[in-house]
Amino acid sequence: MDFLTARQNMIDCQLRPNKVNDDEILARFLDVPREMFVDAAAHEVAYVDQAVDIGHGRVMYSPMVAARLVEVMAPQQTDQVLVVAAGTGYTTALLAPMVEYVVAVEENAYLMDIGRKAHSDLHLKNIKWVKDKPEKGCKAHAPYDCIILDAAAEVVPENLVQQVKDGGRLIGVIKGQDGLYQLTVATRRGQTMFTETVFETPGVTLSNFKQPERFVF
């Protein structure tokens, strides 16, 4: 399979038609080999227009969702970023050259190993991996200009909200009150989070971010 052609087709047929036109972001999607972040058996489907199974009950966002997420974030070179539930680190790899540094939190050692090797092969030096539960974030480097949820969520733990800088953003695919998943941007102003929904998209909720079950009498 010609992966460079696959990446160009991804840009031309999936990203540009969905209004992703930022040249720097498109260049990152062309430069980062998506196939490096999945098992060898999934290389052939790495560029399909849907979420890709990366094993262990986890998926990687579709190219379009990943691109819209990065575009909505509008990364700046001075940004200090936290990516939680980083998986194999594809979103982290896209962001790294566009920001000051990225802290990637992941609790699955197998997925982390894939990500670390890919980041090393791509010579990305400003990424720090932390093995921990994603809902804990990483207080050691908080607060952050932006926190990315790299897996869909039904609820956002308050612990993560408190790690966002005043004026910073938390971005992810979050389940709304209507039951639909939406790419959502929450901006912190003082102790209040102001939310904006961007578009609806399918989501597979990570168990760490599920709504707690309640007893019904």
pLDDT tens string 7-32: 999 999 999 999 899 999 999 999 99
Q: Model pTM?
A: 0.91
Q: Domains in the chain and their CATH numbers?
A: 64-209 (3.40.50.150)
Work out the pLDDT band at 216, boundaries 50, 70, 90: very low
Q: What is the 8-class DSSP label of residue 85?
A: S
CA 65 to chain centre: 9
The dihedral built from the CA positions of residue 89, 128, 107 and 139, taken in this order, carries a sign that is: negative
> For the residues 71-84, what does the mean pLDDT come to?
96
Question: Which residues are paired to 77 by β-bridges?
Answer: none
